[in-house]
Amino acid sequence: MSHGIDSSRSFRPLGIAVLTVSDSRTLADDRSGDLLIQRLRDSGHRLVERQIVTDDVSLIQEQLRDWVMWDQVQVILTTGGTGVTGRDVTPEAVRGISDKLIPGFGELFRQLSFASIGVSAIQSRALAALSGATYIFALPGSTGACRDAWDQILSLQLDSRHRPCNFAELIPRLDE
């Protein structure tokens, strides 16, 4: 079975929101958020909105719930808060508003990260989920992790031309 981009199919840009979860980052120094925005724009998608919130479950969930209600947001990318320290609460926040988890994303991300950072990949709790008809991908806060996730997984799965299948083509059927 072949896989890759099928040039006979049309690209459909998605509306993507980016949420940085950090107690210390600002728009001036949010490198992982900047990287994700550059990557999604370079891929032809639309940035709908960008926000930064502190490592607080209720604040994260409030922002995620807000975006899930927006018709123009099909995908939310979070960066930060996926580690194992006491302040790392992004996975708990995402799980708390999710209808379905997508466990394969975190497993594949950690497998790919192993090639870059070795056994340290085990410290990531990156995950993906659906809330209503909106995909949420919770990524670590490092630029390397965001680059790996975008370049090796998300750029393909959010491209409606990717074969044999992709997340983008399922969007019209997510709320059936």
Q: Is the pLDDT of residue 1 over 50?
A: no
Crossing angle of helices 90-97 and 57-68, in 10° steps, is: 40
Alpha helices, DSSP H, located in 98-154: 103-117, 143-149
Can you give the pTM of this predicted structure?
0.96
Q: What is the pLDDT of residue 89?
A: 97
What residues does each domain of the chain span? 56-70+111-136
Residue range 17-35, pLDDT digits in tens:
999 999 999 999 999 999 9
Q: What is the pLDDT of residue 80?
A: 97
Q: What pLDDT sits at residue 2?
A: 63
Looking at residues 97-119, what average pLDDT do you find? 96
- pLDDT at residue 3 in the model: 81
- Do residues 130 and 102 make contact, with C-beta atoms less than 8 angstroms apart? yes
The span from the CA of 139 to the CA of 148, in Å, is 10
The answer to whether 154 and 106 are in contact (CB under 8 A) is no
